[in-house]
């Protein structure tokens, strides 16, 4: 039975576990729908501070469940449209989530799994993990990969990956910008915990605000972005969160000056 397992801790960290044990956590239709529902609910959940995407059994995700994808080829137009609408919603809910999203890539992330890792704000991969876009080898055009990749990679690097379908190491994925960092498998949990601690140190409204603004700037020229940034800074000066945050930092610095050096 495939699905998304939801696990919470007392700090507001919610882990969404990809679970499809018989198929190396490949994303089934059920998992896509459940992931959409979970991401939508967490976006509005004030108790949720951070969302972690991870695969059960030490494997992130083998990609799309090809059994479900095969069945979709014979489905009605309505069923096809609904499923791809869910896929698009999964992208939007992850990429534009107001909460920081952290992906933990173990063993491999292929196809839609590599996309999911690249939609996250922070992606931590074990250094032996492999990523790739093998869709063309299955007769599939990987349309969904292109928009996000174009925000990060040069066009020739994108074409190299999606035309050849080759697998790359986590180290190359970091160099290209597909994932944030690579770490030895034994240090993966520690790296995740350090990232979570850093994110929890941030003010929730400041985190959601800067994430939304970064996404907005993707659609702006440099001059437009600077003008928008200046306008937002003016409007935000003097608000309670900023005043409180600066005051707390200054008070802490006066108490423990060595800590801030």
**pTM, two decimal places:** 0.90
Q: Annotate 203-222 with DSSP letters as a single string.
A: -HHHHHHHHHHHHHHTTS-H
Second-level CATH architecture of 3-200: Alpha-Beta Complex (3.90)
Q: Which of 52, 67, 15, 43 is nearest to 208 (CA)?
A: 43
Give residue-wise pLDDT tens across range 165-214. Answer: 999 999 999 999 999 999 999 999 999 999 999 999 999 999 999 999 99
Is 127:191 a contact under the CB 8 Å cutoff? no
Give the model's confidence band at 124: pLDDT under 50 very low, under 70 low, under 90 confident, else very high: very high
Give residue-wise pLDDT tens across range 24-55. Answer: 999 999 999 999 999 999 999 999 999 999 99
Q: List residues bridging with 181 in a β-sheet.
A: 124
Is 199:207 a contact under the CB 8 Å cutoff? yes
Give the model's confidence band at 241: pLDDT under 50 very low, under 70 low, under 90 confident, else very high: low
- pLDDT value of position 152: 86
- pLDDT value of position 256: 63
Across the chain, what does the average pLDDT equal? 92
Q: Retrieve residue 91's tokens.
A: 């992208």
Other Cβ atoms closer than 10 A to 69? 19
What is the domain partition of the chain in residue ranges? 3-200, 220-260
Q: Residue range 50-64: average pLDDT?
A: 97
- pLDDT value of position 238: 75
Burial of 45 (0-12, 13-18, 19+ CB in 10 A): middle
Give residue-wise pLDDT tens across range 141-168. Answer: 999 899 989 988 999 999 999 999 999 9
- pLDDT value of position 233: 86
Q: Retrieve residue 143's tokens.
A: 């349309």
């Amino acid at each position: 039975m495939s699905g998304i397992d939801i696990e919470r801790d007392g700090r507001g960290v919610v882990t969404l576990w990809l679970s499809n044990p018989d198929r190396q956590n490949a994303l089934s239709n059920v998992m896509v729908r459940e992931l959409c529902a979970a991401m939508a609910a967490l976006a509005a959940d004030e108790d949720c501070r951070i969302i972690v995407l991870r695969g059960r059994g030490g494997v992130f995700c083998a990609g799309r469940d090809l059994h479900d994808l095969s069945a979709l080829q014979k489905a009605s137009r309505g069923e096809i449209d609904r499923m791809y609408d869910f896929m698009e919603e999964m992208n939007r809910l992850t990429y534009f989530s107001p909460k920081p999203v952290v992906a933990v890539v173990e063993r491999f992330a292929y196809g839609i799994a590599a996309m999911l890792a690249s939609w996250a704000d922070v992606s931590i991969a074990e250094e032996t993990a492999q990523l790739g876009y093998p869709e063309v080898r299955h007769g599939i055009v990987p349309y969904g990969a292109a928009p996000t990749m174009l925000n990060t990679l040069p066009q020739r690097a994108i074409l190299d990956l999606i035309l050849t379908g080759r697998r790359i190491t986590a180290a190359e994925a970091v160099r290209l910008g597909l994932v944030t960092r690579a770490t030895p498998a034994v240090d993966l949990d520690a790296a995740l915990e350090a990232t979570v601690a850093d994110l929890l140190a941030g003010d929730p409204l400041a985190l959601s605000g800067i994430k939304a603004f970064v996404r907005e700037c993707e659609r702006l020229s440099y001059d437009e972005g600077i003008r928008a940034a200046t306008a937002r800074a003016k409007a935000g000066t003097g608000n309670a969160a900023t005043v409180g945050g600066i005051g707390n930092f200054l008070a802490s610095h006066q108490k423990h000056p060595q800590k801030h050096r």
